[in-house]
A and B are shown apart, each in its own frame.
Chain A
């Protein structure tokens, strides 16, 4: 039963498989993004209060919610690194940190641009905003910790621990809007009901954008993990062969 698990942990196997997945993911992402963006920009009805700023939601909400996936991912990879010493898990964790920092920064920036006309302020020390800022600094912390430790194994262990501890912040971000009643609105309750204020013309494009941004997250994570694999395995024969093969092209 564990065989597949350890085969998945083989960098070479992952490199080969992910090479096959990438074109499909790329097609899926492009299709979802095109439909989602056109729908959001052209067809979503203006909000009666917010006007056209409603269109900001279709970028802000997907990016912000996927930024929350990063720490749990790094924490799970951290546990795998600590328990089974699987090299691939650490490579994924290493590559996820800067991507997560990007997602968090874009979520904060788009939130600020949205907040300015709607709340009348770019920034407030609101629970949701502050916990997101903490996530950003935690991710910077993980990146800095890794670059500060020279030994790859020691860096892997230290970052795994920090990621597991840092994942505590994720439920805080998630429930911040319910626990503390401050500026940021709670998650909207989208439903299929006829009398729901959010009809399918609002939430269907949002769901499409969430899947599109998920595809993007997975693609960029796979791309940088593949680079990390080549870098760390550069002395093994399959990478040497691969580079010789690429050069002749």
Chain B
């Protein structure tokens, strides 16, 4: 079965008989379809992790600032 390539030359393969546009646009669309649906969730995941990390960092800073503020206020009341 595998000695049986249907095309005599590379040029003929790319030509696909009369149907160059039809065959290759379908396979091109399929490639785009695969790529988008596998790549998009990976990007979304990366973005989500980046956002959550920034948010955690911000929360930590806010907590530190308010702790500092409380310390200063406590000092002020003490005087």
Contact = CB atoms under 8 A, between A and B. Distances in A.
Interface string A225-236: 011001100100
A51 to B, nearest CB: 5
B30 A46 contact: no
B26 A243 contact: no
B5 to A, nearest CB: 5
A60 interface: yes
Contacts of A45: 4, 6
Interface residues of B, number: 32
B9 interface: no
A220 B45 contact: no
Interface of B: 1-2, 4-7, 13, 16-19, 22-23, 25-27, 29-30, 33-34, 36-38, 41-42, 44-45, 48-49, 52-53, 56
Contacts of B44: 224, 227
A245 to B, nearest CB: 10
A231 B51 CA distance: 11
Contacts of B2: 43
Given A51-B19, A102-B37, A220-B41, A201 B6 contact: no
A79 interface: no
Given A59-B26, A117-B19, A234-B52, A216 B37 contact: yes
B37 A113 contact: no
29 contacts: A33-B34, A37-B27, A42-B7, A43-B2, A45-B6, A52-B16, A52-B17, A53-B19, A55-B16, A56-B23, A59-B27, A59-B30, A99-B37, A110-B26, A114-B26, A117-B19, A220-B37, A223-B41, A223-B42, A224-B41, A224-B44, A227-B41, A231-B48, A234-B52, A243-B49, A243-B56, A244-B53, A244-B56, A246-B53
Nearest to B3: A43
Given A43-B6, A117-B19, A227-B45, A60 B26 contact: yes
Interface residues of A, number: 41
Contacts of B30: 59, 63, 106, 110
B22 A114 contact: yes
Given A42-B5, A45-B6, A246-B49, A53 B22 contact: yes
